[in-house]
């Protein structure tokens, strides 16, 4: 949590730290680094709030190898400290302006002080990946002699590669007989690969953040490591994988950092399918185009429909939202979706639900069918509509005017079906299903014929066509048990 909160622009309130900590604990995280106690009074308040939760996880504070940092951690009553000391010559000379021996002694003094006050100590080498290995090892050995419980190797600027990481951890874990952690940054996109390589080389623990948040390009993502270990290496952890996605969503919301759409596992597109070829494979076996089931990490599969959609995609998408349709209804739904796709729009679940409901509510043997509708409107022109429909298979062409383009289209439709003159429009409502100027709109109408009332709806990117579709659907439902509609000639 501490390194994640160091993402530029992020500052968590104490109650937000508690929410995240609770979720991390439910996820099964072993150690929660709740913050850096020396940072501020507000930070200490947040760490104390996490400690008061009495979670199963060990609660840790980040600390430099300075007495004041350790005292602030003690004030928060944490279980452990993550003591960080610079170990590369670059950091020792440029940042600390000290020499190797004095820095090593600082580490020893800090470990002894923290242990004297009853803290679990993890001694961490900052910028270890650019440090002299013999010097790094000497600092680690001195730390162990001073009482350090764990060690940590920090790839502070993400310059390691998996091959070097594996070799280095194989050596360190064979020489140093205490647990060693790996702490990676993602500057070159290798944080997960390096973390897994370190674990393969003998690392006992890894430092991770939810969604890979952190400074610059972020840290190793917990969801990636957890699923890679389970799925690719058959290594079980204590993590409850089904809680990964809910935790990802919570952290994203509280930190105000959107997850990239193509982010592995937790990105919006991770279990989203559009291609007809892919969805055809999913129908046969979801493993054809999914390495794990979305439910593994608490997600659901999404079928996105657009111009690439085929009948198989539509059938699967309908099944995902609990709907069944006849072959002819699937054809109609597919045609409407492709039409939207050709206009550059993707159909969301909400869009699909509206389109499907509209089509499924229509009678398979609809007596009134729309062939074409054209509307003209302008600043000084009277809105005029012309449309072509078939009534019981006979073609009818009619026109009408109105106060607006929708009114004109519906008036033309009324004239086309004079045989049902007693149908009245009781209520008309328009809603945008999704945001944006290209939003799919849903038109609801309430219509009556005598003492019978029905509601109908139409959906599409064009409010006029959606209105006509809703009106025709309502007419068909009102006349389904009536006879006597005759086409005008």
- Residue 488 pLDDT: 43
Q: From residue 136, give the alpha-carbon distance in Å to each of 103, 126, 140, 214, 307.
A: 11, 10, 6, 25, 58
**Is residue 75 scored above 90 in pLDDT?**
yes
224-267 per-position pLDDT tens digit: 999 999 999 999 999 999 999 999 999 999 999 999 989 999 99
In the DSSP assignment, the letter for residue 148 is: -
- How far apart are the C-alpha atoms of 51 and 164, rounded to whole Å? 38
In this model, does residue 363 exceed pLDDT 50? no
pLDDT at 450: 72
Question: Tell me: the pLDDT tens digits for 393-441?
Answer: 888 899 999 999 999 998 898 888 876 556 788 888 887 666 666 667 8
Q: Does domain 368-479 have CATH number 3.90.76.10?
A: no
Burial class (CB in 10 A: 0-12, 13-18, 19+), 80: buried
Task: Tell me the C-alpha distance between 12 and 20, whole Å.
Answer: 10
Closest alpha carbon to 142 in 188, 116, 168, 176: 176
Spatial separation of the C-alpha atoms in residues 404 and 464, rounded to whole Å: 10
Helix (H) or strand (E) holding 109: helix 100-116
Rounded-to-integer distance, Cα 169 and Cα 202, Å: 6
Query: pLDDT category, 345, cuts 50, 70, 90?
Result: low
Task: Yes or no: say if 64 and 95 are a contact pair by the CB < 8 Å rule.
Answer: no
Helical pair 327-342 and 349-361, crossing angle rounded to 10 deg: 140
Q: What 3-state class would DSSP assign to 29? A: coil
The whole-number pLDDT of residue 148 equals 98
Cα separation of 410 and 433, whole Å?
Answer: 22
Residue found by looking up tokens 């003094």 in the block: 109
- With contact defined as beta carbons under 8 Å apart, do 223 and 210 qualify? yes
d(CA 124, CA 153): 6
Per-residue confidence at 88, pLDDT binned at 50, 70, 90? very high
Q: Helix, strand, coil % (nearest 5) of the chain?
A: 45, 20, 35
pLDDT at 381: 80
Average the pLDDT over each of 13-17, 47-51, 98-102, 308-312 and give the range with the smallest value: 308-312
Query: Which one has a higher pLDDT value, 54 or 455?
Result: 54
Query: CA 339 to CA 325: how far, in whole Å?
Result: 19
The residues with which 459 forms a beta bridge, in sequence order, are 442
Query: Among 2-11, 108-117, 359-368, 369-378, whose mean pLDDT is lowest?
Result: 359-368
303 half-sphere exposure, CB direction, 13 A CA radius? 30
* pLDDT value at 303 more than 90: no
CATH (one of 3.30.450.20, 3.40.50.720, 2.40.50.140, 3.20.20.70) for 2-255: 3.20.20.70
CA distances from 103 to 33, 37, 70, 94, 135 (A): 24, 22, 17, 13, 11
Domain with CATH 3.30.160.270 in the chain: 368-479
| Per-residue DSSP letter, 58 | E
Task: Name the percent of the chain lying above pLDDT 90.
Answer: 57
Lowest mean pLDDT among 3-7, 79-83, 146-150, 448-452: 448-452
Among 388, 419, 425, 416, CA closest to 482: 419
Residue 350 has pLDDT above 70, yes or no: no
**Angle between helix 276-284 and 311-320 (nearest 10):** 60
> Mean pLDDT throughout 95-112?
97
Which residues of the chain are in CATH 3.20.20.70 domains? Answer: 2-255
Q: What DSSP string runs through 281-342?
A: HHHH-GGGS-SS-GGGGT---EE-BSTT--HHHHHHHHHHTT----HHHHHHHHHHHHHHHH
pLDDT, position 356: 82
Report pLDDT for 424.
80
Distance of CA 426 to the CA centre of its chain: 42
pLDDT of the residue at 104: 98
Name the residue among 418, 482, 422, 411 with its Cα closest to residue 447: 422
Bridge partners (DSSP) of residue 375 are 385
Residues in the chain: 489
Averaging pLDDT over each range in 54-58, 300-304, 412-416, which range is the top one? 54-58
pLDDT in tens, 319-339: 876 788 899 999 988 888 888
How much is the pTM?
Answer: 0.71
């Amino acid at each position: 949590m501490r390194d994640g909160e160091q993402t530029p622009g992020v500052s968590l309130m104490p109650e937000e730290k508690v929410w995240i900590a609770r979720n991390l604990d439910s996820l099964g995280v072993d150690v929660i680094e709740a913050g850096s106690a020396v940072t501020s009074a507000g930070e200490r308040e947040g760490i104390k709030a996490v400690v008061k939760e009495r979670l199963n996880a060990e609660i840790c504070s980040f600390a430099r190898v300075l007495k004041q940092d350790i005292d602030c951690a003690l004030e928060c009553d944490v279980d452990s400290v993550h003591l960080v000391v610079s170990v590369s010559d670059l950091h020792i000379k440029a940042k600390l302006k000290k020499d190797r021996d004095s820095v090593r002694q600082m580490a020893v003094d800090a470990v002894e002080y923290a242990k004297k006050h009853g803290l679990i100590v993890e001694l961490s080498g900052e910028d270890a990946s650019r440090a002299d290995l013999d010097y790094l090892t000497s600092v680690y050995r001195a730390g162990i002699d001073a009482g350090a419980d764990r060690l940590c190797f920090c790839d502070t600027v993400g310059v390691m590669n998996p091959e070097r990481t594996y070799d280095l951890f194989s050596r360190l874990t064979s020489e140093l007989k205490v647990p060693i952690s790996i702490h990676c940054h993602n500057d070159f996109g290798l944080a997960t690969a390096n973390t897994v390589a370190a674990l393969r080389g003998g690392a006992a623990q890894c430092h991770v953040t939810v969604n890979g948040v952190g400074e610059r390009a972020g840290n190793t993502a917990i969801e990636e490591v957890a699923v890679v270990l389970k799925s690719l290496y058959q290594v079980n952890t204590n993590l409850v994988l089904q809680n990964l996605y809910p935790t990802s969503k919570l952290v994203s919301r509280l930190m105000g950092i959107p997850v990239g759409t193509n982010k592995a596992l937790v990105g919006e597109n991770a279990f989203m399918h559009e291609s007809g070829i892919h969805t055809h494979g999913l129908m046969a076996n979801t493993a054809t185009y999914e390495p794990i089931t979305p439910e593994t990490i608490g997600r659901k599969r999404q079928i996105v429909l657009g111009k690439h959609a085929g009948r198989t995609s539509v059938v699967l998408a309908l099944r995902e939202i609990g709907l069944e349709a006849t072959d002819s209804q699937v054809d109609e739904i597919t045609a409407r979706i492709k039409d939207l796709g050709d206009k550059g729009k993707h159909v969301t679940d909400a869009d699909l639900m509206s389109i499907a409901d509209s089509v499924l509510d229509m009678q398979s043997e609809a007596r009134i069918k729309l062939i074409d509708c054209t509307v003209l409107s302008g600043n000084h022109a009277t809105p005029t509509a012309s449309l072509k429909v078939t009534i019981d298979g006979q073609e009818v062409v009619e026109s009408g005017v109105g106060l607006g383009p929708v009114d004109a289209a519906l008036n033309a439709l009324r004239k086309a079906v004079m045989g049902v003159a007693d149908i009245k429009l009781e209520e008309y409502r328009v809603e945008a299903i999704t945001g944006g100027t290209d939003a799919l709109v849903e038109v609801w109408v309430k219509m009556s014929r005598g003492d019978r009332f029905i509601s109908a709806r139409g959906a599409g990117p064009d409010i006029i066509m959606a209105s006509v579709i809703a009106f025709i659907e309502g007419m068909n439902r009102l006349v389904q048990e009536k006879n006597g509609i005759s086409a005008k000639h």
